[in-house]
């Protein structure tokens, strides 16, 4: 049995472009990003503008996604909310993936690090999330907003809060796979050939644990988007008039029976984003798998 190392090879971009799933996912993702970046500039209604006379409307020409209980335009809010949700979701996912992959690889490759790092993972899994977040806010909100300004501070705090409390699954999965890979022939061969541990980790092991990492990335993105809204209920997130997808969705749930469009629009936005990232990840994985070519 001779597993060939999976390694980024020249022409990766070309191969990705040959994966229909990746093209579809990437295209969809690009459309969503463009919409939330440019959309708010083009759409004339401000997301926080209240027009009480126009409240509780279903989708119509003036308000394609309808309006909420105060008469705010849901379309404008979904566009605006996407900026925050995507920024928070992607950054938090990146933090969690980086942390998780690093901890998992280190624990898997270096035996002496395995015990301490995995016990650290146990600690993080065991700490109750809510009090942890409340303490983070208490300790860091003021100092972070002092350094990065109120909004920048909140953004960094939220990203660190979500990323810093959701890396553990990735870490354990990556470590589990690494433990198995460590004993495979190609790794043993590389080691025998004098490959240094760090190079071994990055060149031989990382590419082979990429597919679970990509899966946890896509799942982590949707968790991060939804968790952001949970934070703002605790008073940890952005101010209450700041629309985000998670918040729009949870605010709309009580109106689900009467005005379903209000919940479906932000829900669909989250689902499509996660779906596009999933397809992109699957395509990326396939493009990097030499056996499929």
Partner 1 sequence: MLSYTIRRLAFAVPTLLVISLLIFLLLELAPGDPMAQVPLTVPPEVKAQMREALGLGEPVHLRYWKWLVQMVWVEPLVLVDHLFGTDFSEGKLRILSWQHRGPVMDVVVQRLPQTLWVVGTAYVVGILIALPIGIWSAYRRASIFDQAGTFVTVVGYSVPPFFTGPLLILVFAVQLGWFPAIYDTTHRVTDWQGFTVQLKQMVLPVMVLSLQTTAQIARYMRAAVLDNLGQDYVRTARAKGLSEATVLGVHVLRNSMIPVVTVIALGMPAIFGGAIITEQIFSINGIGAQLIGAIKAPDMPTVHTITFLFAVLIVLTNLAADLLYGWLDPRIRYE
Partner 2 sequence: MRYPGFVLAAVLTSVMGLPAQAERGAQGQVNIIYWQAPSILNPYLSGGTKDLEAASLILEPLARYDETGSMVPWLAERIPTVENGDVSEDLTSIIWTLQEGLSWSDGTPVTAQDVKFTWDYCTAPGGGCAQAEKYSGIEAIDILDPRRVKLHFDGPMPFPYSAFIGAQSPILQKAQFADCLGPRAPECTAQNFAPVGTGPFVVEEFRPNDVITYTANPEYRDPAKPAFARVLFKGGGDATSAARAVLETGEFDYAWNLQLAPDVLSNMESAGRGRVVSAFGTLVERIVINLTDPARGLGPARSTRAHPHPFLSDAAVRQALSLAIDRALLVELGYGTAGRVTCNVLPAPAIYASDANDACKRQDIPRAKALLDMAGWIDSNGDGVRDKDGVALSLLFQTSTNAVRQDFQALIKQWWSQIGVETELRNIDASVFFGSDPGSPDTFQKFYADVQMYARNFDGTDPAAYLANWQCDKTPTPENQWQGSNISRYCSEAYDALIAQMQQTADISARAAIARAMNDRLMQEFILLPLVDRGRVAAHANSLGGVRLNVWDSELWNIADWHRKDL
Q: Taking every pair of C-alpha atoms in the chain, what is the biggest distance, in angstroms?
A: 76
| Residue 57 partner contact from partner 1, partner 2, none using kind-dependent CB cut-offs of 5 to 8 Å | none
User: Cβ of residue 238: shortest distance to partner 2, in angstroms?
Assistant: 10
Among 1, 42, 258, 291, binds partner 2 (CB under 8 A): 258
For 164, the token pair is 């810093």
CB of 228 to partner 2, least distance (A): 14
Q: Enter the tokens of residue 170.
A: 């990735």
Kindly tell me which of 141 and 203 has the beta carbon lying closer to partner 2.
141
189 lines the binding site for partner 1 (CB under 8 A)? no
* C-alpha count within 13 angstroms, C-beta hemisphere, residue 112: 0
8's CB contacts (< 8 A; 6+ apart) are 207, 288
**Residue 282 binds to partner 1 (criterion: CB under 8 A):** yes
Give the list of residues 6+ apart from residue 264 with CB closer than 8 angstroms, or none: none
Among 70, 198, 202, 292, binds partner 2 (CB under 8 A): 70
**Contact between 126 and partner 2 per CB under 8 A:** no
SS3 label, residue 73: strand
Token code pair at residue 211: 């597919």
Alpha carbons 34 and 42: distance in angstroms, whole number: 12
The answer to whether residue 54 forms part of the interface with partner 1 (CB under 8 A) is no
Shortest distance (Å) from residue 290 CB to partner 1: 9
- String of contacts with partner 1 for each residue 208-247, x by CB under 8 A: x--xx-xx--xx--x--xx-------------------x-
Among the listed residues 87, 20, 93, the one whose alpha carbon sits nearest the alpha carbon of residue 280: 20
Angle separating helix axes 111-126 and 74-109, nearest 10 degrees: 140
- Return the residue of 87, 94, 179, 195 that touches partner 1, per CB under 8 A: 179
Residues at the interface with partner 2 (CB under 8 A): 48-50, 52, 55-56, 69-70, 72, 134, 138, 142, 232-235, 239-241, 251, 254-255, 257-258
């Amino acid at each position: 049995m001779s597993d060939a190392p999976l390694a980024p090879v020249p022409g990766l971009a070309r191969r990705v472009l040959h994966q229909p799933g990746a093209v579809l996912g990437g295209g969809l993702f690009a459309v969503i990003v463009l919409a939330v970046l440019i959309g708010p500039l083009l759409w004339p209604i401000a997301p926080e503008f209240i027009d009480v006379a126009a409240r509780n409307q279903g989708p119509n020409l003036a308000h394609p996604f309808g309006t909420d209980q105060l008469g705010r335009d849901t379309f404008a809010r979904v566009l605006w909310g996407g900026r925050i949700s995507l920024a928070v979701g992607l950054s938090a996912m990146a933090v969690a993936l980086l942390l998780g992959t690093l901890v998992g690889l280190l624990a898997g490759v270096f035996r002496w690090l395995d015990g301490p790092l995995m016990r650290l993972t146990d600690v993080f899994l065991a700490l109750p999330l809510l009090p942890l977040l409340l303490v983070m806010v208490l300790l860091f909100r003021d100092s972070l907003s002092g350094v990065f300004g109120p909004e920048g501070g909140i953004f960094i705090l939220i990203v660190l809060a979500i990323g810093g409390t959701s890396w553990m699954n990735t870490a354990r999965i990556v470590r589990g796979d690494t433990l198995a890979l460590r004993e495979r022939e190609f790794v043993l061969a590389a080691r025998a050939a004098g490959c240094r541990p760090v190079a071994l980790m990055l060149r031989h092991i990382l590419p082979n644990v990429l597919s679970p990492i990509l899966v946890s990335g896509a799942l982590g993105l949707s968790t991060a988007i939804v968790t952001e809204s949970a934070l703002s209920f605790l008073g940890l997130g952005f101010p209450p008039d700041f629309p985000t997808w998670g918040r729009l969705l949870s605010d709309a749930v009580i109106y689900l029976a009467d005005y379903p469009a209000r919940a479906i629009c932000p829900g669909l936005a989250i689902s499509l984003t996660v779906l596009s990232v999933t397809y992109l990840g699957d395509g990326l994985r396939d493009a990097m798998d030499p056996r499929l070519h």
